[in-house]
Amino acid sequence: MQDALIIRSSRHGVWLHSTAASAAPNWLPFEIAGNKVSASERITQQIADAADQYARDERLHRGRVVICTGSEVSYFIRLDRRNLVGEVSHESLRYAVEAVLPVDAEAIEVDFLADENTISCVAIETDLIDPLVHALEQLGLQVQHVVCETLLCVQHALLQKQVASTSLLTIEGESPAEPSQATRANCDVVSLLNGRPVAWSLCASQAIAMQQELQLQSSRLPQDAQQVTIMLGRPEATIDAVLDLLRGRLKPWFAMRRGKLAAHDPFRTSRKSFSVFAALLTAAALIACGVLGWKAHQHTGRADDAVTLMQGVFKENFPGQRVPAAIVKRMESEHRKFIGQRNPVGNVPETIDASSVLLPLIASLPSNEDLPVEKGFVVESVRINDGEFLLNLRLSSYQDAGPISRSLEQAGFSVEPPSSTRSSAGRIQTQFRGTWSPQAKQVKP
């Protein structure tokens, strides 16, 4: 994992750090006129350019920039929830804390932790941070987090079990404001209750001021709360806390990369999801292209095989002829010619005239005297088609069917066994089916 760039910002200037242990920090002071910082675009751009060069020199990850704000530009406010009107939101709290802070609501950004009856808020001034974030992003340095340095270090110490979950902390260490100062002119006092901050103030490092602040904050904690002094105002403590932040081991109590400070990058929170989606979409598109290419190759191979087969068939049926380019059209044309040809004369068998079958058929029917029951029969229908006949008779008795069938056979007909049925009127319907052979001897009427 590439090392990240840490920008420790205060009213006096910024420190540039790397999470790499071997990288040397870089100090960039602000121009100060009296007690007011000159936050001109020129100064902001110079700091952004210096951060860009520092990231290049140390080969830092340009998408892993963390801005840690100093205590001088951060405020901690604890509000009674019952005194708030309407829904609790970042926008409503920005105007709620305006009543107790010496800054306008438009010049701060807030985040909060809500308890049952109280809301703990942290507000930071954006007049220095906002232009810096914008200038960094213009140079391709993506600010991933904006956090309060002191509270981040306290949260990291709590995670490492260096302090108790309910305690009163006096934070001392090197000054983050100016490298020439060996010790801090001020120190932070933080109160923790059940692992969450309930008070935080920047106090002068004087005995009387410190005693008053400790007494004030200890009144908000249980009597058995520990009072300890820890050394967290060191770059190493900040770097360790930032590393845990980037690795996801801790989630900051107050994340200030939001609202106005996130306006320059509206897709920051969803950039990772978009990147994953884009990667998956690209992979799906590549897979689809691969499958389509493979299918196209298969179809091309089959088409080539079909063309080769048609060329072989053409050469086999039309030897000596050149295989045409439009072989399909040529084969279709030859097929139409083939089905349009007529058979030569004499090859088509002649049909048998119906009269040449009807006359022998009538002549071969027996007379009444030749039948066992001399009551005769009635011809109901005769159907002749190309030498085949279908004869329907109404007989007086089933016994008459046999002599009639034998008489037809003697006349040259091939007769199937007759079938007889009796109708509802008592009539016997008999059907004779057979074939006349032209070579058979015809019976003259």
Quote the pLDDT of residue 266: 60
CA distance 164 to 35: 38
Lowest mean pLDDT across 9-18, 254-263, 319-328: 9-18
CA distance 229 to 231: 7
Quote the pLDDT of residue 348: 52
pTM: 0.56
The region that residue 162 occupies, defined by phi over 0 for left and psi between -120 and 50 for alpha, beta otherwise, is alpha
Quote the pLDDT of residue 291: 93
Report residue 182's pLDDT band, with 50, 70 and 90 as the boundaries.
very low
Q: Which residues pair with 199 in a beta bridge?
A: 191
Q: For residues 309-331, b (16+ Cβ closer than 10 Å) or e, as one string?
A: eeeeebeeeeeeeeeeeeeeebb
Domain with CATH 3.30.420 in the chain: 5-164+231-271
Residue with tokens 């910024």: 14
Report residue 336's pLDDT band, with 50, 70 and 90 as the boundaries.
confident
pLDDT tens readout for residues 210-221: 788 788 888 778
Quote the pLDDT of residue 289: 94
> Residues near 82 by Cβ (< 8 Å), separated by ≥ 6?
117
Q: What is the mean pLDDT of residues 84-108?
A: 83
The count of residues in the chain is 445
pLDDT tens readout for residues 265-279: 566 556 667 888 899
Share of the chain above pLDDT 70, in %: 85
Instruction: Specify the amino acid at residue 260.
Output: K
Q: 122 or 117: whose pLDDT is higher?
A: 122
CATH 3.30.450 fits 5-164+231-271, yes or no: no
Pairing relationship of beta strands 65-69 and 5-9 according to DSSP bridges = parallel
CA distance 164 to 193: 9
CA distance 263 to 76: 23
* CATH class for the region spanning 354-436: alpha beta
> Is the pLDDT at 412 greater than 60, yes or no?
yes
Q: What is the mean pLDDT of residues 37-49?
A: 72
Q: What is the mean pLDDT of residues 8-36?
A: 70
The mean pLDDT of the chain is: 80
Q: 376 or 293: whose pLDDT is higher?
A: 293
Of 424, 411, 292, 303, give the one whose Cα is nearest residue 358: 411
Cα angle 155-159-165, degrees, rounded to a multiple of 5: 75
Quote the pLDDT of residue 377: 82
Domain with CATH 3.30.1360 in the chain: 354-436
Q: What is the mean pLDDT of residues 157-176?
A: 80
Quote the pLDDT of residue 185: 65
CA distance 364 to 406: 9
Quote the pLDDT of residue 313: 85
Question: What is the C-alpha radius of gyration for the chain, rounded to an integer number of angstroms?
Answer: 54
Report residue 233's pLDDT band, with 50, 70 and 90 as the boundaries.
low
Quote the pLDDT of residue 286: 94
> Is the pLDDT at 184 greater than 60, yes or no?
no
Quote the pLDDT of residue 37: 46
Q: Cα separations (Å) of 307 from 252, 297, 317, 338, 389? A: 70, 15, 15, 22, 52
Q: What is the mean pLDDT of residues 121-136?
A: 86
Q: 246 or 330: whose pLDDT is higher?
A: 246
* CA 172 to mean position of chain CA atoms: 51
SS3 442: coil
> Is the pLDDT at 357 greater than 80, yes or no?
yes
CB half-sphere exposure, 232, CA atoms < 13 A: 29
Q: What is the mean pLDDT of residues 188-206?
A: 85
E strand or H helix at 360, and its extent? helix 354-364
CA distance 169 to 190: 5
What are the φ/ψ torsions at residue 54 (nearest 5 degrees)? -60, -40
pLDDT tens readout for residues 101-117: 888 888 888 999 988 88
Lowest mean pLDDT across 131-140, 262-271, 403-412: 262-271
> Is the pLDDT at 438 greater than 60, yes or no?
no
> Is the pLDDT at 442 greater than 60, yes or no?
no
Quote the pLDDT of residue 170: 84
Six-digit token pair at 85?
């009107």
What are the φ/ψ torsions at residue 192 (nearest 5 degrees)? -115, 135
Lowest mean pLDDT across 186-200, 208-222, 258-272: 258-272
End-to-end alpha carbon distance in the chain: 117
pLDDT tens readout for residues 413-429: 888 889 888 877 777 88
Six-digit token pair at 363?
């002549």
- Residue 171 buriedness (CB in 10 A; 0-12 / 13-18 / 19+): buried
